[in-house]
Amino acid sequence: MSVEQIARAARDAAAELAPLTRAAKDAALLALADALVEATETVLAANRRDVQRGRTEGLSETMLDRLALSAERVAAMADGLRDVAALPDPIGEVIRGYRLPNGLQVRQIRVPLGVVAIIYEARPNVTVDAAGLTLKSGNAVLLRGSSSARESNAALVEVLATAAEKAGLPAATIQLVPADSRDTVTELLHARGLVDVVIPRGGAGLIRHVVENAVVPVIETGVGNCHIYVDKAADHDMAEAITVNAKTSRPSVCNAAETLLVHRDLAEEFLPRILTALQAAGVTVHGDETIAAYDGVIPATDEDWAEEYLSLDMAVAVVDSIEAAEAHIRRWGTGHTEAIITESQSAAQHFVSHVDSAAVMVNASTRFTDGGEFGFGAEIGISTQKLHARGPMGLPELTSTTYVVTGDGHVR
């Protein structure tokens, strides 16, 4: 099937999905979860072929980490589907309702977007997360993963689509768009009238390509050049624990911290401690002139301040004030997640009100910017734009609204 044929089939499926009850959708999600667990070995076999091919082709360790599945990861994906089934159904929710002076009743209600296309790199778990969230929100989904994960994605979609159809959903509810040619991305981006929205998930290059070339609407998920600012009123133990967690717990994800900014008033006491802790955890530090004086630190360049490393690297700088930290973030940040560590309420309020980001953490790790951690269940992505959706996107962000106006023979 061509991309146009796939999209037309999805369009028809979306019309059937929109009016489904929560019970029907939840039963299908639970069936998908059970089918995924039963097919674990099939999925892992396909994934091993992808990983082996990736190693042969020189895929980076960061990308291999994103690509690799295990029985535990497959079980976690199935649990994610069950978690989504347990969430409230947003469809039909009344956003607002009122009666006009002429007697007309106006209600604004949530409805599905329709056909959602996801273009993503390497991570097969996105296949399952996207399928679950779009199904629950009454949307048909077109999944266009990367060629590096083509066998994993094919196996996953075969399992999910088959289980969905057996559960009584339209056959085209969950479809895989071939990843054997870049032309399929272009066709998706130009499928205006068939695809309602495209959501890119991946590196800066992929996101930029989608945003610059799409004819259909795009929800832009962003690069995560996340910062931690350690204020002069910070608790040192807390600052060390949060920084090490944010950088090292999983460095290959977008909510990992990439830059550390330390107030000059505590630099002399705090810097030796945090640099030792980071280096002990295997982190390569790229520092400004002050930081570069310490052993093992690489002098930082402008590229370091702009970099989303996705690795055990971190840029570190000393700043003279909270305003200087905010100015640094304005220049180099990507609007994903920024954090302040402080015991000063006024400093925290200043940071929150002056930092323009999808998520701002106060005395917490940047790693908490995540749909699951926010209680949304699985997420479709983290939006760094400001229209329609911003931050982790769960079920409500996969909906639009319709105004339902009820009269009694009213004419204007």
Q: Strand (E) positions, 320-380?
A: 337-341, 359-362
Residue 199's alpha-carbon distances to 72, 90, 134, 204, in angstroms, are 27, 20, 12, 13
Tens digit of pLDDT for each residue in 177-220?
Answer: 999 889 999 999 999 999 999 999 888 888 899 999 999 999 98
Cα-trace Rg, the chain: 23
Amino acid symbol at 180: D
In a domain, 412, yes or no: no
Which tens digits make up the pLDDT trace of 274-286? 999 999 999 999 9
335 domain-assigned: yes
| pLDDT by 10s per residue, the chain, length 412 | 899 999 999 999 999 999 999 999 999 999 999 999 999 999 999 999 999 999 999 998 878 988 999 999 999 999 999 999 999 999 999 999 999 999 999 999 999 999 999 999 878 999 999 999 999 999 999 999 999 999 999 999 999 999 999 999 999 999 999 998 899 999 999 999 999 999 998 888 888 999 999 999 999 887 899 999 999 999 999 999 999 999 999 998 899 999 999 999 999 999 999 999 999 999 999 999 999 999 999 999 999 999 999 899 999 999 999 999 999 999 999 999 999 999 999 999 999 999 999 999 999 999 999 988 998 877 888 998 888 899 999 999 999 999 999 999 999 9
User: Are both 242 and 205 inside the same structural domain?
Assistant: no
Residues 118 and 143 occupy one common structural domain: yes
Give the range of the structural domain holding residue 200, as residue numbers without chain letter: 3-220+385-406
CATH code at position 171: 3.40.605.10
Please indicate, yes or no, if residue 144 is contained in any of the structural domains: yes
Nearest to residue 7, comparing CAs of 139, 140, 136? 140
Asked if residue 374 is part of any domain, the answer here is no
Residue 156 lies inside a defined structural domain of this protein: yes
- The total of structural domains in the chain comes to 2
Domain membership of residue 316 (yes or no) is: yes
- Which pLDDT score, from 0 to 100, does residue 388 have? 84
Task: Looking at the structure, tell me whether residues 309 and 401 fall in a common domain.
Answer: no
- CA 263 to CA 274: how far, in whole Å? 13
CATH code of residue 251: 3.40.309.10
pLDDT digits (tens, 9 = 90+) for 305-355: 999 998 999 999 999 999 999 999 999 999 999 999 999 999 999 999 999
Between CA 260 and CA 266, with CA 262 as vertex, the angle to 5 degrees is 150
